Amino acid sequence: MAELKERTFIAIKPDGVQRGIIGEVIKRFEMKGFKLVGMKMLHVSCVLLLHHLKSASEDLLMKHYIDLKDRPFFPTLINYMSSGPVVAMVRLGRFNHKSSKLNFTLISCVSGRRLLNIIHGSDSVESANKEISLWFKDDELVSYTSCAFSWLY
Domain tally, the chain: 1
Q: Could you give the maximum distance between any two Cα atoms of the chain, in Å?
A: 51
Predicted TM-score (pTM) of the model is 0.78
**Does 69 map to a domain?**
no
Which pLDDT score is estimated for 52?
44
Which residue among 52, 64, 97, 120 is the active-site one?
120
**Inside any domain, residue 66:** no
Is residue 97 flagged as an active site residue?
Answer: no
Q: For the chain, what is the mean pLDDT?
A: 78
Domain boundaries, position 99: 2-44+84-145
Is 139 inside a domain boundary? yes
Tell me the torsion sign for CA atoms 56, 107, 41, 11: negative
pLDDT band at 105 (very low <50, low <70, confident <90, very high): very low
Residue 107: CB partners within 8 Å, gap ≥ 6?
16, 21, 24, 25, 117, 118, 119
Range 29-40 burial, b when 16+ CB lie within 10 A, else e: beeeebbbbbbe
26 pLDDT higher than 50: yes
Span 25-51, mean pLDDT?
A: 78
